[in-house]
Structure 1
C-alpha cells in the first residue's frame, strides 16, 4: 500500500547530479511540450494527478485538497466517477424493508423522472446549478418523458426528495463529499381549500352511498384512512373501539397489498355510541372476516367511488373524495371540544405539529373568552 502524500511537480525542469556531486536544475525532455505544473497525490493507495498552467493555481488546488483530506471530506476521483444509475440501484435495494407502496413510489420516480436525466451522469458531474435548472424545468416543461407538460408542485418536490436521498446515500458511502441537491429552491405546493361537512351533510352523504352507509359514517366520524377501513377485520372492532393496525394499498405491479399503517403504529379509535349501535349490528361472525368487504375480497377504491361520487353530488358536495372525510372528522372533533393531542391520536398523525399545521385554524382564538375564563377561575380562587 502506497503512503498518502501530495505535492507539486515542475514538469519542465528536473534535478540532476553533477560529476562533482552538486545538484543542478536542467530542462526536461518535455520542456514547453506539456502543461508545466502537475499536482500529484496518493490517497488510499491510489495516485491521482491534475495539471495547471500556473503554479499559483496548482498551489491553490493542493491547499484545498489538503484541507478536504484533513476535514474528512475528501472523495477519491475513482469513487466519484461512479454513475448515478448504479448508486441509485444500490440505494433502492436497501429499501426492501419499507412498505411496498413506498418502494414502488421510489421506483416510479427513478424510472420516469430521475434516471432519464441523471442515470448516465457521473456523481462528480452532478452540480448544484444543473440540479436547480432541472428542478425548475420540471415545473415548466416537465421531464424527458413528459416534455411540454409541467409537473405539479407536489410531484416536483417528491422527485427532489428522491434525488437528494440517493445523493445522501452516496455521501454516506464516500462517493461524494457533499449533497449538491441541498438548498434547491422548490415550487410552493399551494394550500388547497378543505371542505368540512356538518353532521347533517355527513349523514346525508352516508345515506346516499346506500350499501356503504356505515363505512362512510366510520370514515367521517372515526377519521380512518380508506385503506385502514378496508383492512379492518372483525377482531379489530370490539367494545365501541376500533383497533387500527393494518392498511390496504394499491401497489403498481402488485395490485392491492396489505401492510402496516402509514406511520407504522397501532392506534385505538373510539366509535360514537349512535354509530357503534349500527356498526355492531353489521359485524361479521368470523373473527378474521373483513368488516367492509368488496365483491372480490378487499374493497377497492373504484368500487366504493362508484357509489360515493354520485352520493357526493346528490348531497351538494360534488368533487368530494373519501380522504377528505378525515378533515370532517377533525372539524367535528374540535367543535366537540377535542384538543390537538386528541385529534392527533384520532387521525393517526406522526406528530402533533402536523395536526396543528393542518387544523390549528379550527381552534378558537377568542382571547377575550380566554380572559373571561381566567377571570372566573381567579375570582373563584379568591373567594376560597
Structure 2
C-alpha cells in the first residue's frame, strides 16, 4: 500500500497539564477537567508541534507559550512557505562530517589544489569548526574567526597572525563547505556570506631587462637554459620541469606545452595536464634556440630536459637554492622565479605583442585576466603608438599633396617637410601658433596668408 502524506497541522501544547474526563460519583455526569501531567514541573512547559514538508511530525519545547507560538507562526510557517525549511536532524550534523563529504567531491581537481584544501582543513578550518553543529555556526562567529586569524593566528599557530591571502584561502574553504551544506539541504542559508576580509596587499611586480635576464642566466650555472626559457617564454615552473625533448621544434622555434609537474606534500611530484587544461605552443627567440640546440643534442626524446641532481623531477626547493644565490650575486636580491613569467610578458609587450598574444603565450584562461595583470605596461607605449600614427598620417598627407587633394593649409608643404619627426612638427606647430597670436593682437583679426610663411628648416 502506498504511503500517504499526513495533513500538515501545528499547535502549541501544555506539557505540564492535561485534560481528563471526570465522572460525578452521585449523578454520573461526565465533565472535562485540567489535571497535572506526569511531566509537571519537568523541563520546558510548552511544546510547539508541527508536521514538516516531508510529512514527519516534529516538536520543539519552550519555556513560555508566547515563544512556542512565535516559533510556529514565524520560523516554521515562513520557512515551509518559502521553501527554506531544513530538517533539524540534517542541520545538527557536525561540520567536520560535511567537510569530509565536500572534500571527496574535489578529488577531480588538480593534485596541488586538492592538497591545498587538505592542508587548510587540517590546520586552520577543522580545529575551529570541526565539532560545531552546522546549525550553530553563526555569521558573527565566522567574522570573529577571520579577525582572530589575521591578528593572532589559529589554534595551531597561535601568537602570529596569518597573511591576508592565507586568511582569505581559509575563509574560502569554510564558505565552500557551508555552500555545499546549503545545496545538500542541511542549511537554509550560508552564514559565511558577506564576511569582511583583510585587504590583500598588492606586491609590486619586478620586470627584468634583457641585460638583467642574460646576467642572471650566466650566474645560475646549470640552470641557465631553464632561466632563459622562463624569462623568454613565460611558461610556468611546473610546465618547464615537465618538458621533454619531443616537446621542442627548434626549426619552427616553438615549444609545445602539454603537461605540468607539481610537488604535492605527502605525495611527491604529480604530473598532470596544464593549469587551465589546455595545450599551447609558445615561441622561442633565436638566441634561446642556439642555447637549446646544445642542451638537447643527443638526448633521448622522452627524458626530462631539466632533471633534478638525482635524475627525477626538479623541485622548486632545489632550484631556489641555486637561483636565490645567483639573483643576489647579480644585484637582484629578493627576486623570485615566478617574476620571470612577469618579465616574459613585459618583454613581449615592449616587442609589440598585443594582449591576445600575451594571453596565448602565458596560457591565461581569459584576456581579461592578462589585461588585469599587465595592462599597465601598455601605458609606456603610448608615445610610441602616437609616433607610429603620426608617421602614417604624414605619409598619407604627402600623397594628397602630390595629387593636389591636400587641404589648403598643407598645400605649400613639400614631402620633405611632411617627413619631419614628431618633435619637429611639435616645434613648428608651436611657432605657428605664436605667430598667429601675434598677428591677431596686432590687427585684431586672423592674419591672412599665415599658412604661406616659411617653415623652419
Q: TM-score, normalised by structure 2?
A: 0.76
Q: Is the 8 A contact 1:113 1:159 kept in 2?
A: yes
Match of 2:211 in 1: 200
Aligned: 1:5 with 2:8: yes
Q: Confirm or deny that 1:39 pairs with 2:52.
A: no
Measured after TM superposition, the shift of residue 367 of structure 1 is: 7.0
User: Quick check: 1:214–1:279 contact (8 Å CA) kept in 2?
Assistant: yes
User: Alignment partner for residue 259 of structure 2, among 246, 250, 253?
Assistant: 246
- Could you give the per-residue CA deviations for residues 206-246 of structure 1, whole angstroms, max 9, x where no partner exists? 11112211111100010011111000111211121111111
1:209 aligns with 2:220: yes
What residue in structure 1 maps to residue 365 of structure 2? 350
Match of residue 129, structure 2, among 118, 124, 132: 118
**Partners of 1:14 and 1:25 within 8 A in 2:** no
Q: In structure 1, what is the equivalent of residue 270 of structure 2?
A: 257
Q: 1:299 to 1:365 in 2, by over 3 A?
A: closer
Q: CA deviation at 1:15?
A: 6.4
Shift of 1:42: 2.2
Q: What pairs up with 1:264-343 in 2 under 5 angstroms?
A: 264-283=277-296, 284-296=298-310, 297-343=312-358
Q: CA deviation at 1:112?
A: 0.8
> Cα offset for 1:200?
0.6
- Give me the whole-angstrom Cα distance separating, in 1, the residues matched to 2:33 and 2:393: 96
> Which shifted more, 279-288 or 313-322?
279-288
Tell me the distance in 2 between the aligned counterparts of 1:230 and 1:130.
44
8 Å Cα contact 1:8/1:37 also seen in 2: no
Mark the CA change 1:365 to 1:213 in structure 2 (over 3 Å): closer, same or farther. Answer: closer
SS of the aligned residue for 1:257 comes to strand
Q: In 1, are the aligned partners of 2:19 and 2:35 still within 8 Å (CA)?
A: no
Q: Would you say 1:177 and 2:188 are equivalent positions?
A: yes
More moved, 118-127 vs 295-304: 295-304
For residues 298 and 94 of structure 1, what CA distance do their matches in structure 2 show?
29
Q: Deviations over 1:249-277 (max 9, x none)?
A: 11011122211212222121111122123
Would you say the 8 A contact 1:244–1:267 is kept in 2?
Answer: yes
Distance verdict in 2 for CA 1:148–1:13, change over 3 Å: same
Task: Render the CA deviation track for 1:94-134: whole Å, top value 9, x for unaligned.
Answer: 22211111111111111111111111110011111101101
Higher mean Cα deviation, 351-360 or 183-192? 351-360
Greater displacement, 311-320 / 132-141? 311-320
Q: Taking structure 1 as reference, are residues 369 and 320 closer, same or farther at Cα in structure 2, changes over 3 Å only?
A: closer
Contact 1:228-1:244 at 8 Å conserved across structures: yes
How many residue pairs end up in the alignment?
382
Q: CA deviation at 1:358?
A: 1.6
**Inter-CA distance 278–89: structure 2 relative to 1 (3 Å threshold):** same
- The alignment's C-alpha RMSD in Å is 2.9
Query: 3-state SS of the aligned residue for 2:290?
Result: helix
Structure 1 range deviating more: 288-297 or 106-115: 288-297
Query: Structure 2 stretches of 5 or more lacking a match?
Result: 24-29, 406-457
Structure with the bigger RCO (C-alpha within 8 Å, sep 6+) is: 1
Residues 62-96 of structure 1 deviation map (CA, whole Å, 9 limit, x = unaligned): 23322212222111100001111111111111222
Which stretch of the first structure deviates more once superposed, 160-169 or 342-351?
Answer: 342-351
* Unaligned runs of at least 5 residues, structure 1: none
Report the alpha carbon displacement of residue 26 of structure 1 after superposing the two structures with TM: 4.4
Q: Aligned pair in 2 of structure 1 residues 314, 162: CA closer, same or farther (>3 Å)?
A: same
Q: Quick one: distance in 2 between partners of 1:134 and 1:217?
A: 44
State the match for 1:61 in structure 2.
71
- Residues 349-358 or 225-234, more deviating: 349-358
What is the DSSP-based 3-state SS (H/G/I as helix, E as strand, rest coil) of the residue aligned with 1:294?
coil
Give the C-alpha shift of residue 326 in structure 1.
Answer: 0.7
